[in-house]
Amino acid sequence: MDKIKNNQQFILKSEKLNETLSNEIKKLKSEKAVTSDFMILVNETLRDLGITLKLEIEDENYIIKTTLATEKQITINDISEGEKNLLSLLFFYYEMFEDRNQQVVKSDVKLIIMDDLISSMDDSNRFYVLEIVKNIIELNVDQVFVLTHVWEDFSQLTFRKKCFDSNSKYASYEIKKDKFSYIVKLISKGGPYKHMFKEVYELSKKTQLSTDCEYFHMPNVIRRVFEEFLLFKTYNMIPQRKTKEHLEQIFKITKTKDKCDLGTLLSVTNALSHINTKTNDDILIAAKCLMKIIKNNDKLHYDTMKQ
């Protein structure tokens, strides 16, 4: 009898274990379906953007293939930084939702922070990414913070948002730097360009930095003036080292020294760097280079703004 009883207990335990394993299998199959949904989302997005890549699933892992005449499997190291960032953003976006249609935000998502997403993308993907960021801002989440170095992106994201209204659910802040960083709430968007231009102009006349504050403050000012002036000459382009040759063509820079100075300007104003590797001399060269570019390409603009 004891043997029969032991066998019955063993059978009961086996049945419970079987039920547990069955539930685990169902869960894994469900996760597999979610993975497939993400693959579909990515492939539709890549196709719409005209990017010749696609995701496939092999042995429960993603693989990347080209969608050219002859399909070829490639690795993550074979695609551009902008394409890597786009895939990361899509996965981040997809993981925020409970449903495959990206309508219901997960209940545990209380805070979203996006740090300079747009400027880290390839130029051809920036408009699409900007729309994703705008959509995330409108999600039913307790708090959403969007950080950007780019004035044009700030203008796009705050357009019609009433960010300077005390009763609005939106707000805008500026992170300022001297020896330390601090945050200032903006009460109006205003037009800071002329004021910043004069700051860079005055710096370009100096032979050395006057204070430590200039070391931390002026690179950001130089960058914003450069971005704003560039908008007068071309659309949807951020001054970065990868666009150096294009900038040389736009501003007709042909001399070797001027090209080197432009490289210094782009290093000093690098929106993707959070590391202070620039020197005081680099900042002065950047200010002088930018003023020279503006003076040579638009003398009237230069004379008007420096007053």
Write down how long the chain is: 307
Are 227 and 246 found together in one domain? yes
In the listed set 78, 102, 126, which residue is the last one of a domain according to the structure?
A: 78
Q: What is the pLDDT of residue 32?
A: 45
Q: Look at residue 259 and tell me whether its pLDDT is greater than 90.
A: yes
Q: What is the pLDDT of residue 25?
A: 63
In the listed set 141, 168, 190, which residue is the last one of a domain according to the structure?
A: 190
Residue pair 83/96 in contact by the 8 Å Cβ criterion:
no
Query: What's the longest Cα–Cα distance across the chain?
Result: 106
Quick one: which of 283, 302, 292 has its CA closest to 232?
Answer: 302
- The mean pLDDT value for 210-215 works out to 81
Are 23 and 68 found together in one domain? yes
Q: What is the pLDDT of residue 41?
A: 87
Radius of gyration of the chain from its Cα atoms, rounded to whole angstroms: 27
Are 175 and 231 found together in one domain? no
Q: Look at residue 190 and tell me whether its pLDDT is greater than 80.
A: no
In the listed set 172, 190, 208, which residue is the last one of a domain according to the structure?
A: 190
Residue pair 188/164 in contact by the 8 Å Cβ criterion:
yes
- The mean pLDDT value for 152-171 works out to 83
State pLDDT tens for residues 110-143: 999 998 877 667 666 778 888 899 999 999 999 9
Are 85 and 180 found together in one domain? yes
First to last CA, the chain: 105
Are 198 and 299 found together in one domain? yes
Quick one: which of 114, 186, 103, 175 has its CA closest to 144?
Answer: 114
Quick one: which of 307, 273, 267, 256 has its CA closest to 290?
Answer: 267
At 292, is the pLDDT very low, low, confident or very high (cuts 50, 70, 90)?
very high
Are 266 and 211 found together in one domain? yes
Domain total in the chain: 3
Residue range(s) defining the domain that contains residue 47: 1-78
Query: Rounded CA gap, 110 and 82, in Å?
Result: 28
Handedness of CA 121, 89, 130, 75 (dihedral sign): positive
Q: What is the pLDDT of residue 26?
A: 56
Are 6 and 44 found together in one domain? yes
229 vs 180, which has greater pLDDT? Answer: 229
High-pLDDT (> 70) share of the chain, %: 85
